Amino acid sequence: MTPPKERIETVVVDGLGLAQSIRKELREAIEHEKLAGRRPPCLAVVLVGDDSASAVYIKGKRRACARIGMDSAEHRLPESTPQATLLSLIDKLNRDDGVDGILVQLPLPGAISPWVIAEAIDPDKDADGVHPLNAGRLLAGTADLVACTPLGILEVLDRYDVELEGAEAVVIGRSDIVGKPVSILLQQRNATVTLCHSRTRDLAGVCRRADVLIAATGRPRMVRGDWIKPGAIVIDVGVSEVDGELVGDVAFDEAQGVARLITPSRRGIGPMTITMLLRNTLHAYRAQTKAGG
Ligand code: NDP
């Protein structure tokens, strides 16, 4: 007779609580700058077009800035904006000494290339870590500004004391903003990383090997409970709307009792991503104004 499977106590990550405690540290750092007579950091956010989800994201990011005493400026351009007009706005922001970080909200209208735009942002003001120079520095292990979601994931793993040295890490999704950079960061922390994508054979079998499983596909509940190795750490980055409900890439209920740690689709990686945007902007501010420590 096979023994009954041991049910594991699954800890659900409190991404919001963690984000709030880091934001408190950031708020104190900015307060320190102001007390020293310096201006606060400023993030410029650019929104092109009328995508309603993007407008909500921008609002959330600006609110997060305000709550820690960081300035933000919003630049809205119509859907029909030519790429050249957006490039001149970016050039203006690059040369503005009062702007420390620049974020261009994605997705952009089809006529504008996100790669051309990413390349136009001053790498020292690249709060979202999307400039190719920063991506290259990430490979070299010398980047100050790294994409926000991967940074947020690493922060969760560290603050929950997840051992990465020698761990089998499986990342599903190879986007430039999540999958690729997080796989580099994990590899730099001495995890053995497998990067999966839509052509991966036997994805479930690969996932079952993972001590740390990171899902970033946008495919709702794709990762089933029996894809998870008992005791694994599961980071669910995906956010999809299904029947008016926000769901992740992982079948959350099935992961209960199997995973040791899991991030929920709400209040998980999302608040950490915004927090890393704030932290990147503070880094950029310090580097440019030579302020703080
Ligand atoms: P992309 O659409 O850019 O990339 C998706 C990746 O998933 C691709 O590499 C694709 O493979 C892979 N993929 C798609 N379907 C499958 C499949 N069936 N099996 C294996 N791999 C698959 O997505 P993003 O990285 O931008 O975002 C991923 C998810 O994370 C989205 O839901 C997004 O909303 C969410 N997100 C959440 C954030 C947060 O703060 N919480 C921040 C950023 C993203 P291939 O390359 O072969 O096409």
Helix (H) or strand (E) holding 169: strand 168-172
Residue nearest atom 6 of ligand 1, based on CA coordinates:
173
Q: What is the largest CA-CA distance in the chain?
A: 73
Residue 290 has pLDDT above 80, yes or no: no
Task: Measure the CA–CA gap between 279 and 281, rounded to whole angstroms.
Answer: 5
Task: Measure the CA–CA gap between 248 and 262, rounded to whole angstroms.
Answer: 11
Residue 286 has pLDDT above 90, yes or no: yes
Average pLDDT over residues 83-92: 98
148-270 matches 37-122 in CATH topology: yes
Strand, helix or coil at 166? Answer: coil
Q: Which of 237, 247, 249 for mutating ligand 1's site (highest number of atoms within 8 Å of CB)?
A: 237
Q: Which residue has the tokens 């994805």?
A: 203
**Which residues are CB-neighbours of 12 under 8 A, at least 6 positions away?**
262, 263, 264
Atom in ligand 1 nearest the alpha carbon of residue 249: 32
97: nearest Cα among 291, 292, 285: 285
pLDDT tens for residues 21-62?
A: 999 999 999 999 999 999 999 999 999 999 998 999 999 999
**Model confidence band, residue 4 (pLDDT cutoffs 50, 70, 90):** low
pLDDT tens for residues 179-212?
A: 999 999 999 999 999 999 999 999 999 999 999 9
Residue nearest atom 1 of ligand 1, based on CA coordinates:
175
Position 7 scores a pLDDT of 87
- What average pLDDT does the chain have? 96
Domain 148-270 has CATH 1.20.1070.10: no
Atom in ligand 1 nearest the alpha carbon of residue 240: 32
Amino acid, single-letter form, for residue 203: L
Question: CB atoms < 10 A from the CB of 96, how many?
Answer: 15
- Answer whether 0.75 is exceeded by the pTM: yes
Q: How far is CA 153 from CA 70, 212, 214, 274, in A?
A: 23, 11, 9, 12
Separation of CA 177 and ligand 1 centre (Å): 9
| Domains of the chain, residue spans | 37-122, 148-270
Of residues 293 and 39, the one with the higher pLDDT is: 39
Domain 37-122 has CATH 3.40.50.10860: yes
Ligand 1 pocket (Cβ < 6 Å) reads 149, 172-175, 177-179, 196-200, 203, 216-219, 222, 237-240, 269-270, 273
